Amino acid sequence: MTQKARELYRSANGDRWSLVHEYDSGRVFVRHEPNLSSGGRPSDISIGDFLVRDGKGPEHTELLRLIGTLVETSVEK
3-state SS of 15-71?
Answer: CEEEEEEECCCCCEEEEEECCHHHCCCCEEEEHHHHHHCCCCCHHHHHHHHHHHHHH
Confidence (pTM): 0.82
The residue extents of the domains of the chain are 3-75
Q: Model confidence over 39-55: pLDDT tens digits?
A: 879 999 999 999 998 77
Does residue 73 have a pLDDT over 70?
Answer: no
What is the mean predicted confidence (pLDDT) over 22-43? 92
